[in-house]
Structure 1
Amino acid sequence: MTARVLMVQGCTSDAGKSTLVAALCRWLRRRDVRVAPFKPQNMALNAAVTVDGGEIGRAQAVQAQACGLAPHTDFNPVLLKPSSDKGAQVILHGRAVGQMDAVGYHDYKRVAFDAVMASHRRLVDAYDAVVVEGAGSPAEINLRANDIANMGYAEAVDCPVLLVADIDRGGVFAHLVGTLALLSESERVRVAGFVINRFRGDIALLQPGLDWLEQETGKPVIGVLPYLHGLHLEAEDALPRDTVAKDGVRLRVVVPVLPRISNHTDFDPLRAHPHVDLRYVGPGETPPPCDLVVLPGSKATRADLAWLRSQGWDEAIARHLRYGGKLIGICGGLQMLGHAVHDPEGIEGPAGSSEGLGLLDFETTLMPDKQLRTTAGRLCLGGAAVRGYEIHCGTSHGPAFDRPVAELDDGRVDGALSADGQVLGTYLHGVFDAPEALAALLAWAGVRDAQALDMAGLREEAIERLADAVEAHLDTRFLSTLLELPCTA
């Protein structure tokens, strides 16, 4: 028996496609259905390393967790990682195949679609159900030709589609009706129903609108999902919207929002910690006083380093350190801490070199071969267990690495710590995830008795809450029929 395929598409980006797919995957797993997630094409700078040694969008790693599976490149066969407003690194089955602009990628889509269909066939042969996430909106007229991310895929594999819209931003009925109107006749027929996401308030007040929507379109509303506050789930790409008011904050952290910021999910444990106030600082904003500055990962390290200088961050960081503050650089942020970043082959932009911040004694050279690995070891800060993953195409060398941050299980060392103990750099994404590592890093930053935080447990709790919401608020009989499963009460 081949898997039954169900696709979730959204009226807009950030409508809730990723979370709905994760929710459906866990709901199916609860019913002992062997289910896998799938996203044909993803554009995101938050990535995860897979069990087969590649990289996929971070949202698909979360969805894999919801299925009880290790991340695999078949879950996201095409990943686009923007390096500028007009170009992106193209990754097929977890491996980079080159930089392309929009026109070049449009011509390349036939090759990309072959990769999509190869992964699709493997998944439907191996699982009972596959829950698929679309990308952006299916109604982008300029992207309809040779589409592989939304209805182009759905039509090719002949699967039903759920259309989800975010009511929290307003205009939900216009989004749903307008999206449906812009689809072809065969695509409209393919839409099995609607899901409205992030509703706050009394559902009775919404009911007249739901009745009108069903009458107007002839499509059922499968359900209305509530706004779930405090949901600790990794974002696909957009920076978190929610800000959390906390009592007892003891560490103030700021993160500059680089134009090509990558893997900002690194900071989820800091955002969730009750003793930490983390703020993202965007362009034109003055960095507020803080205890810790963290330079995040970057898909275009030299360009983002130039942006930091243009925004005055180099001077702000120097002042921060003079007053005794701490500084961490992660991946691209680590590379910025050295004396120079060299890109002789134009891996991330025009070939050349850039002067670094000069806070640690090393230099970095970007190379074509990307390093992708999951990593575990112990921090040199008290021997705390640490785990994470590496996604970078640079190699860094210099005396600074004689004072490493971590000793890894594979015999390597990672990162560098300044002689005065104020500046720390690491290539490890997810460095804050392990409870021991988070506690050790918070102690280094000045909070020596921080409350323990189990980020993995919080993520699992969030996935369970999502599945609870499916069972409580969606028509599971209808969903069971779509997936050809036995209906349950």
Structure 2
Amino acid sequence: MAKTLMIMGTGSDVGKSLVTAGLCRAFTNRGHSVRPFKPQNMSNNAAVTADGGEIGRAQALQARACRIEPTTAMNPVLLKPEQETGAQVVVRGERVASMSAREYFKKRSVYLPQTVSAFEELQTDADLIFVEGAGSASEINLRAADIANFGFARALNLPVMLVGDIHRGGVIASIIGTLEVIDPADKALIVGSLINRFHGDPNLFEQGKSFIKNRTGLPCWGPLPDYPDAQLLPPEDVLALDHRQVDQTGDFKIVVPRLPRIANFDDLDPLRQEEGVSLHIIQPGNPLSMDADLIILPGSKSTISDYEFLVAQGWDIDIKAHVRQGKSVLGICGGYQMLGRSIADKNGIEGTPKSVAGLGLLDVETSLSEQKQLRLENAVSSTHDLPLSGYHMHMGETTGKDRIQPFARVGDQPEGAMSPNGQIVGTYLHGLFASDQFRRAFLDQLGAKTNAELEFEARIDQILDGFAAHLEHHVNLDQIAQTMKTPRKST
């Protein structure tokens, strides 16, 4: 059976996903057969797996770090927020329900056997498994019936490494405080801590490391210096969009409204790496810039409520003014649905049944449905006759006259829609900009300068290798490996 280590954090967004990906690549590079696992994830940034389901984008990246294809076993429970107090519940890649937070917390222990079963599947062909926790390890108010952190770790007696982010400040207190407030039996599983995102001379933290070790009796690994290129990897948490509002300083300006339920925003990542592009995430309360060359309406987990938010912000007025200037708009998935004449949710898929008028920039209309479409796609763009690949992940059917001129073709089937003059484009195809030839042709046609040498997918692997080497240099991975244990067999 595979030896295992669980990576938990002192809080959300402390770098658990990145550290897990780095450990996956580092030990894969050492010749091990490695698998990632996260029992419960909450994210609207999801990926389609080869076995036809969906998991958190972070676990897909971690699978890539292991140089394997992602499967639904790597993230058996995925929560996709739809409202302020509720989420879609995805189990083993398939939507099973939509629940309020209160309802889910009452029922979540039901999913523990399924998370354990998925974990045991991964054990059959792995030497090592790195398990990522969720949020903060010290949320004692959520500890009962937990399946994401110590509830899962205790079920299988997993050793735990605690990660803290020094960039936030108070990292010593956050690590020691976590150990002070959690249950003693949970505390007994912790084998050490890691200080993440250090800036400056690491020697200046020697006293801090000694204090943590003396106070806790556990090794403190690191500090791990910040790795700037890591920001180019696909983010899991939507908080990344709030931290990173402008990318690059190129002359071609793309603006993206920050929708409350924005989904699959890693669609934007390849654009961030084009030096001729500046990508602006427009936060609520701010207008969409009138000097933008392109507006992208991103995916949404709750299309109608996000569209109503867009209108309340006055962004619909900004978009239509942008179009009157002869400039282009691209809508992806939920953004595509917003571009049409109407969006109907007659069965209450996203909440209260209702229908709304859309932007009316494409002559199409959308009807939401229970059936979620999840599949990997290979397509050919209509305008450029270039191959592109990506995936579909949506609940709805879009019909109308502008589909006569599709964005692309999947075999002999039309995909997406374009206005007669090609100014407005809509597509359900996520991940389209990762196709280098298409991305360059699309941007070149709009007047952007692109980098003919940028190979997006290859660069992701270079960054993963670089971060793995960074870990090897700054952290005693041999010592961490010695803390890994074979899990207890579930009963």
Question: TM-score range, shorter-chain basis?
Answer: over 0.9
Q: Is 2:418 the counterpart of 1:420? A: no
- Which residue of structure 2 lines up, in the alignment, with residue 296 of structure 1? 298
User: Counterpart of 1:427 in structure 2: which amino acid?
Assistant: Y
- Which residue of structure 2 lines up, in the alignment, with residue 161 of structure 1? 160
- Which residue of structure 2 lines up, in the alignment, with residue 264 of structure 1? 265
- Which residue of structure 2 lines up, in the alignment, with residue 227 of structure 1? 226
C-alpha displacement at 1:484, in angstroms?
6.4
Q: Is 2:169 the counterpart of 1:133? A: no
SS of residue in 2 equivalent to 1:14: coil
Residue-by-residue CA offset, 1:135-166 (whole Å, 9 max, x unaligned): 00111122111000001100101110000011
C-alpha displacement at 1:102, in angstroms?
1.3
Asked whether the equivalents of residues 222 and 478 of structure 1 are also in contact (C-alpha less than 8 Å), the reply is: no
User: Counterpart of 2:142 in structure 1: which amino acid?
Assistant: L
Within 1, Cα distance between the matches of 2:190 and 2:466?
A: 26
User: Counterpart of 1:76 in structure 2: which amino acid?
Assistant: N
Flag the 1:85–1:463 CA change in 2: closer, same or farther, 3 A.
Answer: same
Within 2, Cα distance between the matches of 1:301 and 1:205?
A: 49
Aligned residue pairs, count? 482
Flag the 1:448–1:408 CA change in 2: closer, same or farther, 3 A.
Answer: farther
Identity %: 42
- Which residue of structure 2 lines up, in the alignment, with residue 460 of structure 1? 461
Asked whether the equivalents of residues 381 and 408 of structure 2 are also in contact (C-alpha less than 8 Å), the reply is: yes
- Which residue of structure 1 lines up, in the alignment, with residue 330 of structure 2? 328
Residue-by-residue CA offset, 1:377-403 (whole Å, 9 max, x unaligned): 211122121111110001101111100
Within 1, Cα distance between the matches of 2:410 and 2:259?
A: 29
Asked whether the equivalents of residues 439 and 452 of structure 1 are also in contact (C-alpha less than 8 Å), the reply is: no
Q: Is 2:479 the counterpart of 1:474? A: no
Within 1, Cα distance between the matches of 2:48 and 2:248?
A: 33
C-alpha displacement at 1:211, in angstroms?
1.1
- Which residue of structure 1 lines up, in the alignment, with residue 351 of structure 2? 349
- Which residue of structure 2 lines up, in the alignment, with residue 401 of structure 1? 403
Residue-by-residue CA offset, 1:274-318 (whole Å, 9 max, x unaligned): 010001011101222210000000000000110010001111011
Within 1, Cα distance between the matches of 2:341 and 2:110?
A: 40
User: Counterpart of 1:39 in structure 2: which amino acid?
Assistant: K
C-alpha displacement at 1:244, in angstroms?
6.7
Q: Which consecutive residues of structure 2, in runs of 5 or more, have no partner in the other structure?
A: 487-491
Within 2, Cα distance between the matches of 1:259 and 1:339?
A: 22
SS of residue in 2 equivalent to 1:255: strand
Asked whether the equivalents of residues 5 and 131 of structure 2 are also in contact (C-alpha less than 8 Å), the reply is: yes
Within 1, Cα distance between the matches of 2:339 and 2:24?
A: 41
Asked whether the equivalents of residues 23 and 467 of structure 1 are also in contact (C-alpha less than 8 Å), the reply is: yes
Within 2, Cα distance between the matches of 1:449 and 1:227?
A: 28
Within 2, Cα distance between the matches of 1:303 and 1:5?
A: 41
Asked whether the equivalents of residues 297 and 332 of structure 1 are also in contact (C-alpha less than 8 Å), the reply is: yes
Within 2, Cα distance between the matches of 1:139 and 1:212?
A: 20
C-alpha displacement at 1:450, in angstroms?
5.0
Asked whether the equivalents of residues 19 and 466 of structure 1 are also in contact (C-alpha less than 8 Å), the reply is: no
Within 2, Cα distance between the matches of 1:294 and 1:4?
A: 44
Within 2, Cα distance between the matches of 1:479 and 1:380?
A: 51
Instruction: Give the alignment's Cα RMSD to 1 decimal.
Output: 1.4
User: Counterpart of 1:159 in structure 2: which amino acid?
Assistant: L
C-alpha displacement at 1:449, in angstroms?
5.7
C-alpha displacement at 1:445, in angstroms?
2.3
User: Counterpart of 2:442 in structure 1: which amino acid?
Assistant: L
Within 1, Cα distance between the matches of 2:259 and 2:391?
A: 21
Flag the 1:55–1:449 CA change in 2: closer, same or farther, 3 A.
Answer: closer
Within 2, Cα distance between the matches of 1:111 and 1:94?
A: 17
Asked whether the equivalents of residues 247 and 279 of structure 2 are also in contact (C-alpha less than 8 Å), the reply is: no
234-243 or 459-468, which moves further after superposition? 234-243
Flag the 1:158–1:449 CA change in 2: closer, same or farther, 3 A.
Answer: closer
Q: Is 2:375 the counterpart of 1:391? A: no
- Which residue of structure 2 lines up, in the alignment, with residue 312 of structure 1? 314
SS of residue in 2 equivalent to 1:375: strand
Asked whether the equivalents of residues 275 and 451 of structure 1 are also in contact (C-alpha less than 8 Å), the reply is: no
User: Counterpart of 1:363 in structure 2: which amino acid?
Assistant: E
SS of residue in 2 equivalent to 1:390: strand
Flag the 1:343–1:131 CA change in 2: closer, same or farther, 3 A.
Answer: same
Flag the 1:448–1:403 CA change in 2: closer, same or farther, 3 A.
Answer: farther
- Which residue of structure 2 lines up, in the alignment, with residue 113 of structure 1? 112
C-alpha displacement at 1:417, in angstroms?
1.2
Within 2, Cα distance between the matches of 1:299 and 1:51?
A: 22
Q: 1:369 aligns with which of 351, 360, 371?
A: 371
C-alpha displacement at 1:243, in angstroms?
6.2
Asked whether the equivalents of residues 310 and 316 of structure 2 are also in contact (C-alpha less than 8 Å), the reply is: yes
Flag the 1:414–1:448 CA change in 2: closer, same or farther, 3 A.
Answer: farther
Runs of at least 4 residues of structure 1 off by over 4 A? Answer: 242-247
C-alpha displacement at 1:440, in angstroms?
1.8
Residue-by-residue CA offset, 1:60-79 (whole Å, 9 max, x unaligned): 00000001111100000000
